[in-house]
Amino acid sequence: KAGVTQTPRYLIKTRGQQVTLSCSPISGHRSVSWYQQTPGQGLQFLFEYFSETQRNKGNFPGRFSGRQFSNSRSEMNVSTLELGDSALYLCASSFTPNEQFFGPGTRLTVL
Partner 1 sequence: GENVEQHPSTLSVQEGDSAVIKCTYSDSASNYFPWYKQELGKRPQLIIDIRSNVGEKKDQRIAVTLNKTAKHFSLHITETQPEDSAVYFCAAIRGNQFYFGTGTSLTVIP
Stretch that binds partner 1, among 17-25, 60-68, 69-77, 100-108 (CB under 8 A): 100-108
Nearest CA among 75, 82, 42 for reference residue 61: 82
State the minimum distance, in angstroms, from the CB of residue 17 to partner 1: 26
Residues 27 to 86 in contact with partner 1, rule: CB under 8 A: 31, 33, 35, 40-45, 48, 50, 55-56
Query: Closer to partner 1 at the Cβ: 90 or 108?
Result: 90
Which chain residues interact with partner 1 by CB under 8 A? Answer: 31, 33, 35, 40-45, 48, 50, 55-56, 90, 97-100, 102-105
